[in-house]
Amino acid sequence: MNPRGDSTSGSDGAPEPRRKSKKPKYSRFTQQELPACKPLLTPAIVVTTFAFIGIIFIPIGLLSLSASEQVVEIVYQYDTDCIPEQLQNDKVAFIQSSKTNKTCTRTLTVPKNMEGPVHIYYELDNFYQNHRRYVKSRSDKQLRSKASETVTTNCAPEATTSDGSVIVPCGLIAWSLFNDTYSFAVNSKIIEVNKKNIAWQSDKEHKFGSDVYPKNFQMGGLIGGAKLNASIPLSEQEDLIVWMRTAALPRFRKLYGRIETNLAANEQITVTIQNNYNTYSFEGKKNLVLSTTSWIGGKNDFLGTAYLTVGSLCLFLAIGFIILYLLKPRTLGDPSYLSWNRNPDGHY
């Protein structure tokens, strides 16, 4: 194909020998006749598909619902609860003051038998861990190796201390590490909380260096959250690792630890909360969540309901089409339905 340049005297413009046929070679490809399968929406296929989807989806929905039903979940919102009555009016002052007693002891009742491991989560609401200013404020290079300790590109304003030495780990995310703690007891007997392996193995091995130790951390003018033990390498600071996997949504849960034992129904659990973390300045909520898991994860009725709804809708449509087809049958590909056959003049 030579769409242009025919008029140049270029050497490629030399005329071909007259007799040489320019007939294009035949191939199924060039003639656009490749063997092809042509799926066709016949009434039978449509009805079958809808019916099939309905039949598959309804059981899936039921299964998901039952799995979700088996999950036992205790949610306790303690942000307001854990502030003494007299300080309710100025929560921020309460949380910022180093003098106030932040310990808060409450009792929770186990509604059903909870088989171990029981996951302990903290749930924050209205905390935009996905805020642009926030998500970018970290240095993956610094976290990974000691050699890159000074790489604090996106970390401002938590990149360096006022005298210019680097903060490790730098950035707003690390700075705002969640620092409420929970301890549990049943009948005055302390329940062990396993805080090992709460972070991703991949993060511990590859993202957070075992030779990187916290440095100049949480020394600035405003304390954002937890302090870190400077003698433990980042790869073992699992709370930090969990925290630094920033959440997708402003309401999020993060794994705090696990209770490996079973909790029996109606047991009274005494929770001692150290209410340190400031969510009051932005009207954030804090929940403590104890939950078992099933194959669908935590408690979630949404998918089950959705599958059920769609499944039944499909069945309904399938039936609808069958009725329609029986009432107004129509031959497939009847040429008399062609618009120009219905409108003989061919004028519209």
Partner 1 sequence: MAYEDGDPPLSLHLLRPISESPLRLDPLSRSFPSAAHRRASSTSHPSHDIHLPTPAVRHGSRAESERLASSQPELADADARLVFVGDPGRTDPHLQLAGNAIRTAKYSPLTFLPRNLFEQFHRVAYIYFLVIAVLNQLPQLAVFGRGASVLPLAFVLLVTAVKDAYEDWRRHRSDRIENNRVASVVDPRDGQFRPKRWKDVRVGEVLKVFADETNPCDMVLLATSDPTGVAYVQTINLDGESNLKTRYANHETTSRPIGDAHPFAAGLICCEQPNRNIYGFLANMEIDGKRVSLGPSNIILRGCELKNTAWAIGVAVYAGSETKVMLNSTGAPSKRSRLETHMNRETLLLSAVLITLCSVVSICNGIWLGKHRNDLELSQFFRKRDYSDSDKNYNYYGIGMQVFFTFLMSVIVFQIMIPISLYISMELVRLGQAYFMIRDTNLYDESSNSKFQCRALNINEDLGQIKYVFSDKTGTLTENKMEFQCASIRGRDYGSGKVPLQDNGGTHSVLAGDQIWKPKMSVKTDPELVALLQSRVETEQGNQAREFFLALACCNTIVPLIVETTDQKQKLIDYQGESPDEQALVFAAASYGFVLIERTSGHIVVDVLGVRQRYDVLGLHEFDSDRKRMSVIIGCADKTVKLYVKGADISMFGVIHKTIDLDIIRATETSLIAYSSLGLRTLVVGMRKLSRNDFEEWRSAYENASTLLIGRGRLLRAVSSNVERDLQILGASGIEDKLQQGVPEAIESMRQAGIKVWVLTGDKQETAISIGFSCKLLTSEMTQIVINSNSRESCKKSLQDAVAMSSKLAAISLDSENILRGTGSSRIALALVIDGNSLVYILRTELEEELFKVATVCDVVLCCRVAPLQKAGIVALMKNRTDNMTLAIGDGANDVSMIQMADVGIGISGQEGRQAVMASDFSMGQFRFLVPLLLVHGHWNYQRMAYMILYNFYRNAVFVFILFWYVLYTAYSLTTAISEWSSVLYSVIYTALPTIIVGTLDKDLSRRTLIKYPQLYRAGQRDERYNLKFFILTMMDSIWQSLAIFYIPYLAYRHSVVDGSSLGDLWTLAVVILVNIHLAMDVFRWNWITHASIWGCIVATVISVIIIDSIWMLPGYWAIFHIMETGLFWLSESRIFHLSLACQPSKGLDRMVQTHNPITLSDGVLLWSCFW
- Which residues in 60-99 contact partner 1 (CB under 8 A)? 60, 92
C-beta closer to partner 1: residue 270 or 321: 321
Interior angle at CA 140, CA 253 and CA 196, nearest 5: 45
Q: Which residue is associated with the tokens 């490629």?
A: 12
Of the candidate residues 106, 117, 134, 182, the single one contacting partner 1 (CB under 8 A): 134
Other beta carbons less than 10 A from residue 263's beta carbon: 23
Q: Which residues in the 146-175 window bind partner 1 by CB under 8 A?
A: 156-158, 160-162, 172, 175
Of the candidate residues 90, 297, 316, 323, the single one contacting partner 1 (CB under 8 A): 297
C-beta closer to partner 1: residue 92 or 230: 92
The answer to whether the Cα torsion of 201, 206, 210, 212 is positive or negative is negative
Q: 122, exposed or middle or buried, with CB in 10 Å at 0-12, 13-18, 19+?
A: buried
Of the candidate residues 70, 246, 261, 262, the single one contacting partner 1 (CB under 8 A): 246
Of the candidate residues 141, 195, 215, 285, the single one contacting partner 1 (CB under 8 A): 141
Contact characters 200-219, partner 1, x per CB under 8 A: x-xx--xx------------
What span, in angstroms and rounded, lies between the C-alpha atoms of 27 and 125?
64
Closest CB 201 distance from partner 1, rounded Å? 9
What is the three-class DSSP state of 15?
coil
What span, in angstroms and rounded, lies between the C-alpha atoms of 182 and 243?
16
Closest CB 185 distance from partner 1, rounded Å? 25
Q: Which residues in the 172-191 window bind partner 1 by CB under 8 A?
A: 172, 175-176
Q: Which residues in the 26-55 window bind partner 1 by CB under 8 A?
A: 26, 30-32, 34-43, 46, 53
Closest CA to 108 of 74, 153, 141: 74
Q: Does 252 interact with partner 1 (rule: CB under 8 A)?
A: yes
Q: Which residues in the 104-133 window bind partner 1 by CB under 8 A?
A: 121, 127-133
C-beta closer to partner 1: residue 129 or 181: 129
Residue 229 CA: distances (Å) to CA of 16, 85, 169, 240: 84, 34, 12, 11
Closest CA to 265 of 152, 142, 112: 112
C-beta closer to partner 1: residue 24 or 85: 24
What span, in angstroms and rounded, lies between the C-alpha atoms of 333 and 338?
9
Contacts with partner 1 by CB under 8 A: the residue count is 116
Closest CB 97 distance from partner 1, rounded Å? 14
Closest CB 190 distance from partner 1, rounded Å? 25
C-beta closer to partner 1: residue 11 or 188: 11
Closest CB 1 distance from partner 1, rounded Å? 6
Q: Does 338 interact with partner 1 (rule: CB under 8 A)?
A: yes
Closest CB 334 distance from partner 1, rounded Å? 7
Q: Does 316 interact with partner 1 (rule: CB under 8 A)?
A: no
C-beta closer to partner 1: residue 143 or 273: 143
Interior angle at CA 322, CA 319 and CA 326, nearest 5: 140
Interior angle at CA 188, CA 185 and CA 190, nearest 5: 40
Closest CA to 116 of 193, 63, 180: 193
What span, in angstroms and rounded, lies between the C-alpha atoms of 126 and 277?
14
